Structure 1
Amino acid sequence: MTATTRVKLSTMMFLEFFIWGAWFVTMGTYLQTSLKATGVENGNAYASQSWGAIIAPFIIGLIADRFFSAQKVLGILHLIGGGLLLYITTLTNFSAFFPVILVYMVLYMPTLALVNSVAFRQMTNPSKEFAPIRVLGTIGWIVAGIVISYLNWDKQGNEAALVNTFKLAGFASLALGLFSFTLPATPPAKSGQKVSFREIIGLDAIGLLKNRSYLIFFLASVAICIPLAFYYGFANPFFAEVGMKATTVTQSLGQVSETLFMILIPLFFVRLGVKKMLAIGMVAWAIRYVLFAYGDAGSNYWMLIGGIVLHGICYDFFFVTGQIYTDNLAGEKFKSAAQGFITLATYGVGMLIGSIMAGKIVDTYKVSATTHNWQTIWLIPAAIAAVVLIVFLLAFKDTNQIQTKPGLDIEEPGAGRVEV
Structure 2
Amino acid sequence: MNPMIRVRLSAMMFLEFFTWGAWFVSLGTFLSINLKADGAQTGDVFSTQSWGAIIAPFIIGLIADRFIRAERILGFLHLVGAVLMYQMYNAETVGEFYPYVLGYMILFMPTLALVASVSFNQMSNPEKQFSSIRVFGTIGWIVAGLLISYAFRWDNSEAAAAGQLRNTFLLAGGSSLLLGLFSFTLPATPPRAKGEKISIGKILGVDALKLLKDRNFAVFFLASVAICIPLAFYYQVTNTFLVHSGVENATGLMSLGQVSEVLFMLLLPVFFTRYGFKKTILVGMLAWVVRYLLFAYGNADDLFFMLILGIVLHGVCYDFFFVSGQIYTDARAGEQYKSAAQGLITLATYGVGMLIGFKIAGLITDHYKTGEGSFDYKMIWLIPAGIAAVVFLLFALLFKKETKKISL
Q: Please give the TM-score of this superposition, normalised by the length of structure 2.
A: 0.98
2:166 and 2:280 map into 1 onto residues whose CA distance is 39
Tell me the residue number matched to 1:91. 91
Tell me the residue number matched to 2:111. 111
Amino acid paired to 2:82: G
Q: Is the counterpart of residue 311 in structure 1 residue 308 in structure 2?
A: no
**Is this contact kept in 1: 2:328–2:406, CA < 8 A?**
no
Secondary structure of 1:244 counterpart = coil
4+ runs of 1 displaced by more than 4 Å?
Answer: none
Q: Which structure's residues are more often helix, by fraction? A: 2
Tell me the residue number matched to 2:69. 69
**Is this contact kept in 2: 1:274–1:398, CA < 8 A?**
no
1:359 and 1:83 map into 2 onto residues whose CA distance is 28
Q: Is the counterpart of residue 5 in structure 1 residue 34 in structure 2?
A: no
Question: Structure 1: where are the runs of 5+ without partners?
Answer: 405-409, 411-420
1:354-381 CA distances to partner (integer Å, 9 max, x unpaired)? 0001001000100101110000000000
- What is the root-mean-square deviation of aligned Cα atoms in Å? 0.7
Secondary structure of 2:67 counterpart = coil
1:205-258 CA distances to partner (integer Å, 9 max, x unpaired)? 111100000000000000000011001001000000001111011000000000
Tell me the residue number matched to 2:33. 33
Q: Equivalent residues in 2 for 1:234-313 (5 A)? A: 234-313=237-316
Q: Equivalent residues in 2 for 1:154-165 (5 A)? A: 154-159=155-160, 160-165=163-168
2:377 and 2:9 map into 1 onto residues whose CA distance is 41
1:397 and 1:10 map into 2 onto residues whose CA distance is 41
CA apart distance, 1:194 = 1.2
CA apart distance, 1:146 = 0.5
> Residues 218, 131 of structure 1: CA spacing in aligned structure 2 closer, same or farther, 3 A cutoff?
same
**Is this contact kept in 2: 1:273–1:401, CA < 8 A?**
no
Deviates more, 1:264-273 or 1:380-389: 264-273
Amino acid paired to 2:6: R
**Is this contact kept in 2: 1:41–1:94, CA < 8 A?**
yes
Which one of the candidate residues 173, 182, 197 is aligned to 1:179?
182
Tell me the residue number matched to 1:389. 392
2:83 and 2:209 map into 1 onto residues whose CA distance is 38
Q: Is the counterpart of residue 153 in structure 1 residue 151 in structure 2?
A: no
Amino acid paired to 1:100: Y
**Is this contact kept in 1: 2:331–2:406, CA < 8 A?**
no
Q: Is the counterpart of residue 18 in structure 1 residue 18 in structure 2?
A: yes
1:270 and 1:369 map into 2 onto residues whose CA distance is 50
CA apart distance, 1:15 = 0.3
Which one of the candidate residues 343, 348, 352 is aligned to 2:351?
348
Secondary structure of 1:332 counterpart = helix
Name the count of aligned residue pairs. Answer: 405
1:402 and 1:199 map into 2 onto residues whose CA distance is 29
Tell me the residue number matched to 1:143. 143
Secondary structure of 1:334 counterpart = helix
Tell me the residue number matched to 1:127. 127
2:149 and 2:74 map into 1 onto residues whose CA distance is 29
1:108-127 CA distances to partner (integer Å, 9 max, x unpaired)? 00000000000001000011
> Residues 266, 231 of structure 1: CA spacing in aligned structure 2 closer, same or farther, 3 A cutoff?
same
Amino acid paired to 2:328: Y
Tell me the residue number matched to 1:416. none
Amino acid paired to 2:158: G
**Is this contact kept in 2: 1:71–1:183, CA < 8 A?**
yes
1:46 and 1:286 map into 2 onto residues whose CA distance is 22
Amino acid paired to 2:169: F
1:72-105 CA distances to partner (integer Å, 9 max, x unpaired)? 0100000000110011111100001011101100
CA apart distance, 1:400 = 2.8
Secondary structure of 2:157 counterpart = coil
